[in-house]
Chains A and B, each alone.
Chain A
Amino acid sequence: MGRYVARRLLQMIPVFVGATLLIFLMVNVMGDPIAGLCGDRECDPATAAQLRREFGLDKPVGQQYLTYMGNVFTGDFGTAFNGQEVTELMASAFPVTIRLTIVAILFEIVIGITLGVVTGLRRGRPVDTGALVITLVVISVPTFVTGLLLQLLLGVEWGWISPSVSSDATFDELIVPGLVLASVSLAYVTRLTRTSIAENTRADYVRTAVAKGLPRHRVIRKHLLRNSLIPVVTFIGTDIGALMGGAIVTERIFNIHGVGYQLYQGILRQNTQTVVGFVTVLVLVFLIANLLVDLLYAVLDPRIRYA
């Protein structure tokens, strides 16, 4: 197990370097960020040159990248154009998005897996068909449509929720945005669980367990579910990163000031430090989530450990 983890950790290094380098290059290709700083007029050349020097933009890109990465390892993510430390932006944005992601993941796990198990065990029945139709609809409707629709109905028409999330972004405020964010993945989790369960109900070990006379709930929980969850865990694990980075649309609709908001702002203002900083952390989140998934595999199915 230890060697397995070590190998996985080593594999993360080239991925991390490659991903950050790519982002760094892409943001830089967009041109001189100082040009947009002075509004509709040209920055006065002396100030522009000074700003460029201060942000290190006058150096070759390669050198900028090395300096940047050097700083990142000491925990210095640079300064955004509005004078705030990027780490400060992160400290305000990540907790919000993490809360949002937790809400979304909980929805996926609780509703998605339950629905999946229920429909998987009752294949072909009305419950199953109904769930299939609903998940199909959810998958095919874009998130921003679901989001705006729920915002309009629940927020404006019926007044159940506030259409926008306050700056505290507490858990209860994030329920609807979390549901919206989770909706598509939730549908996938349902379908994935359903198929997996349906396949395994006919597996030999389930038949054996039933023949042993084990109670039904024990068969489902200990034997059926544990083996059926492997693809679902993979999906949810990789989804953590996708949800955090992909929250831009949801965060914009509900005015949540999280990672998506800061990334959007950073891209709009071509703020290299913000964009690269946030993406770097997101890459790390992706990598760690993937690692956790792989480790969970080993827990769920000991055979993988020795492979």
Chain B
Amino acid sequence: MRGATHARWIACAAAMALAATACGGGDDSDGGSGSGDAGAVLSSSWGDPQNPLEPANTNEVQGGKVLDMIFRGLKRYDPKTGEAKDMLAEDIETTDSQNFTITVKDGWTFQNGEKVTAKSFVDAWNYGASLKNNQKNAYFFEYIEGYDKTHPDDGSKQTADTLSGLKVVDENTFTVKLTQKFSTFPDTLGYNAFAPLPQSFFTDHDAWLAKPVGNGPYAVDSYTKGSQLSVRKWDDYPGEDKAQNGGVDLKVYTDNNTAYTDLMAGNLDLVDDVPAAQLKNVEADLGDRYINTPAGIIQTLSFPFYDENWNKEGSDKVREGLSRAIDRDQITDTIFQKTRTPATDWTSPVLGEEGGYKEGLCGDACEYDADAAKKLIQEGGGLPGGQVKITYNADTGSHKQWVDAVCNSINNALDNDKACVGNPVGTFADYRNQITQRKMSGPFRAGWQMDYPLIQNFLQPLYYTNASSNDGKWSNAEFDKLVDQANAESDTTKAVETFQKAEEVVRDNMAAIPLWYQNGSAGYSARLSDVALNPFSVPVYDQIKVG
């Protein structure tokens, strides 16, 4: 299974390099009215992280948010453009795209005074890859030689604790040997899983988890699990992106409505998730202190291709018909108050045109047309069993609302009030369960939040045969071939073009119905200025000015 996901990382470096030049013009800071009090602390809403706060074990936004404040890795994705820029990396050299020599900048230390060296990275990566540590991001290390020994796929006993492909050369240099050519490996190094770790992480793990020590602009001041994490500006931070405020108090809210109420009452400075129920009033409440910007998130409807009903002659027409029966404009306007943008391709606008986003790539297939929808579904042999059930988890988000709206739209278009119904599943865990056990009988909700801003990340993990997030188990030889080609391509413009060709295969088969791009939303108090969301929809905390 894992083998088939090969080259998930392999991507086009140009996507990022070009995105940078494309967006580089807009780097002036707006709203920089007050200089701000550099010592003032702001408070922000937070969700309880699902996993312990360890770089290689954090795979959701809430934990990632903290890691992004307290850690800096070899690379860092520019908060505005998404470009992967050198951070701790002095130099990453390769002659064959398979063996890399990485030099770490001098003068960086952890917040406990320990120096950040090549060993800090090698130890951290070895820890992340080792099966016995149960790190949920372990697969990020799978292209490094020796991964199969430290993390055997079949779950059998691991035969090595360290990756044979990692070697410390001297204090500031280490080498990485991959199992295959991978020219854009450096661009993936901005991901949290690749952060360096101090020795105290290994020697006193529990103490470290209770109060993580990193090397970023903020240091953890106190952490009360489940209720609050306070970070304070780290004065000795050697990087250029020093914190512009004194620190951040992240307060756990069970309900984002309460967080919003607290913001209104002046108890909270920043809410990074405006609740759906408040979207109608948010502009009246906050005016220009409401942010609504695109993020690297797309929502789609996937199909169970393991179910014969959805994988037979004419099924693609049924899928396309369903896509045409969905009035995306109306739903994004009424249900989401324009915090979603109707999707016209399978990537995200944050990639930029050079990065692979192509407006309108979906063409007619994503345009609402009741007559065409009816005709297509008829030609395709009608809906399997006369009815589609859209499965979703009902515990979070406003999934019920939009699924009902989508069904409504389909029913209206097909003049059949039984054509589509929602099929709620109680919890997200149960929902994931049913997906992994291949129990889906019709379309189901799928969302994808990018790991890094590359077109590859929107296609390969989702549609490549047996890829890690290919929940519908779609498989297409031509798509796989094009992705392989794109990954091997050293010229980045060509790589993007090849990825787009692959995306066209997705379109022609309607492997998944693109619904809308999700925006990041935030609201903040009058005390703050220079608030912005990065392409991952996380506030750029270190640049916020208070006062």
Question: Which residues of A approach B to under 8 Å, CB–CB?
Answer: 30-33, 35-47, 49-51, 54, 81-84, 88-89, 92, 151-152, 155-156, 159, 162-164, 167, 251-255, 257, 261-262, 264-265, 267-270
Closest to A168 in B: B227
Give the 7 A-B residue pairs with the shortest CB-CB distance, closest first: A36-B429, A167-B227, A83-B52, A270-B429, A35-B432, A35-B433, A31-B433
| CA of A253 to CA of B264, assembled, Å | 15
The answer to whether A39 touches B59, judged by C-beta atoms less than 8 angstroms apart, is yes
Report the stretch among B327-335, B376-384, B446-454, B479-487 that lies at the interface.
B446-454
Least CB distance, A203 to chain B, in whole angstroms: 49
Identify which of B132, B155, B252, B447 contacts A257 (C-beta below 8 A): B252
The answer to whether A42 touches B225, judged by C-beta atoms less than 8 angstroms apart, is no
* Known contacts A151-B261, A162-B267; A37 and B134 CB within 8 A of each other: no
Least CB distance, A286 to chain B, in whole angstroms: 24
Mask, B179-206, CB within 8 Å of A = 1, is 0000000000000000000000000000
Least CB distance, A172 to chain B, in whole angstroms: 16
* Known contacts A36-B428, A41-B461; A251 and B254 CB within 8 A of each other: yes
Report the stretch among B96-104, B135-143, B404-412, B526-534 that lies at the interface.
B135-143
Closest to B51 in A: A82
Identify which of A46, A251, A254 contacts B155 (C-beta below 8 A): A46
Residues of B within 8 A of A89 (CB): 226
Check: B228 CB closer than 8 A to any chain A CB: yes
* Known contacts A35-B433, A50-B155, A268-B427; A44 and B258 CB within 8 A of each other: no
Residues of A within 8 A of B36 (CB): none
Least CB distance, B425 to chain A, in whole angstroms: 10
Residues of A within 8 A of B139 (CB): 44
The answer to whether A40 touches B449, judged by C-beta atoms less than 8 angstroms apart, is yes
Least CB distance, A42 to chain B, in whole angstroms: 6
Closest to B396 in A: A268
**What band does the interface of chain B fall in when counting residues whose beta carbon is under 8 Å from A?**
35 or more
Least CB distance, B283 to chain A, in whole angstroms: 18
Identify which of B131, B136, B395, B396 contacts A43 (C-beta below 8 A): B136
Residues of A within 8 A of B132 (CB): 50
* Other 20 A-B pairs with CB < 8 A, given A40-B447, A81-B51, A156-B261: A37-B50, A40-B469, A44-B468, A46-B155, A47-B135, A54-B134, A83-B51, A84-B226, A88-B225, A89-B226, A163-B258, A164-B253, A164-B258, A164-B262, A251-B254, A253-B258, A257-B226, A268-B427, A268-B428, A270-B429
Least CB distance, A11 to chain B, in whole angstroms: 34
The answer to whether A40 touches B446, judged by C-beta atoms less than 8 angstroms apart, is yes
Query: Which chain B residues in 105-154 approach chain A with CB under 8 Å?
Result: 131-132, 134-136, 138-139, 151-154
Check: B49 CB closer than 8 A to any chain A CB: yes
| CA of A39 to CA of B396, assembled, Å | 13
Residues of B within 8 A of A155 (CB): 261, 265
The answer to whether A47 touches B131, judged by C-beta atoms less than 8 angstroms apart, is yes
Residues of B within 8 A of A92 (CB): 224-227
Closest to A31 in B: B433
The answer to whether A30 touches B430, judged by C-beta atoms less than 8 angstroms apart, is yes
Check: B426 CB closer than 8 A to any chain A CB: yes
Check: B241 CB closer than 8 A to any chain A CB: no
Residues of B within 8 A of A159 (CB): 265-266
Residues of B within 8 A of A49 (CB): 155
The answer to whether B50 touches A269, judged by C-beta atoms less than 8 angstroms apart, is yes
Check: B159 CB closer than 8 A to any chain A CB: no
The answer to whether A264 touches B254, judged by C-beta atoms less than 8 angstroms apart, is yes
The answer to whether A46 touches B154, judged by C-beta atoms less than 8 angstroms apart, is yes
Q: Give me 20 A-to-B residue pairs in the complex whose CB atoms sit less than 8 angstroms apart, sorted by A's number.
A: A36-B429, A36-B433, A37-B136, A40-B448, A40-B469, A42-B432, A45-B153, A45-B154, A46-B154, A46-B155, A51-B134, A82-B52, A83-B51, A92-B225, A155-B261, A163-B264, A167-B227, A167-B228, A252-B258, A269-B50
Mask, B147-184, CB within 8 Å of A = 1, is 00001111100000000000000000000000000000
Query: Which chain B residues in 422-439 approach chain A with CB under 8 Å?
Result: 426-436
The answer to whether A163 touches B395, judged by C-beta atoms less than 8 angstroms apart, is no
Check: B23 CB closer than 8 A to any chain A CB: no
Closest to B154 in A: A46
Residues of B within 8 A of A47 (CB): 131, 134-136, 138, 151
Residues of B within 8 A of A54 (CB): 134
| CA of A119 to CA of B231, assembled, Å | 55
Least CB distance, A106 to chain B, in whole angstroms: 25
Least CB distance, B446 to chain A, in whole angstroms: 7
The answer to whether A82 touches B430, judged by C-beta atoms less than 8 angstroms apart, is no
Least CB distance, B224 to chain A, in whole angstroms: 6
| CA of A267 to CA of B428, assembled, Å | 10
| CA of A42 to CA of B4, assembled, Å | 14
Check: B48 CB closer than 8 A to any chain A CB: yes
| CA of A291 to CA of B45, assembled, Å | 42
Closest to A155 in B: B265
* Known contacts A45-B155, A46-B151; A35 and B429 CB within 8 A of each other: yes
Check: B209 CB closer than 8 A to any chain A CB: yes
Identify which of A42, A46, A88, A262 contacts B469 (C-beta below 8 A): A42
* Known contacts A82-B48, A267-B427; A252 and B255 CB within 8 A of each other: yes
Least CB distance, B306 to chain A, in whole angstroms: 14
Q: Which of A31, A162, A264 has the most CB of B within 10 A?
A: A31
The answer to whether A33 touches B447, judged by C-beta atoms less than 8 angstroms apart, is no
The answer to whether B448 touches A257, judged by C-beta atoms less than 8 angstroms apart, is no
Identify which of A33, A41, A44, A251 contacts B429 (C-beta below 8 A): A33
Residues of B within 8 A of A84 (CB): 225-226
| CA of A257 to CA of B253, assembled, Å | 9
Check: B312 CB closer than 8 A to any chain A CB: no
| CA of A291 to CA of B51, assembled, Å | 39
| CA of A41 to CA of B60, assembled, Å | 11
| CA of A39 to CA of B297, assembled, Å | 14
Residues of A within 8 A of B477 (CB): none
Closest to A267 in B: B427
Residues of A within 8 A of B152 (CB): 46
Residues of A within 8 A of B136 (CB): 37-38, 43-44, 47
Least CB distance, A49 to chain B, in whole angstroms: 4
Residues of B within 8 A of A167 (CB): 224, 227-228, 251
Residues of A within 8 A of B427 (CB): 30, 36, 267-270
Check: B2 CB closer than 8 A to any chain A CB: yes
Residues of A within 8 A of B469 (CB): 40-42
Closest to A162 in B: B267
| CA of A160 to CA of B51, assembled, Å | 37
The answer to whether A82 touches B50, judged by C-beta atoms less than 8 angstroms apart, is yes
The answer to whether B267 touches A31, judged by C-beta atoms less than 8 angstroms apart, is no
The answer to whether B430 touches A39, judged by C-beta atoms less than 8 angstroms apart, is no
Check: B284 CB closer than 8 A to any chain A CB: no
Residues of B within 8 A of A83 (CB): 51-52, 209
| CA of A22 to CA of B422, assembled, Å | 30
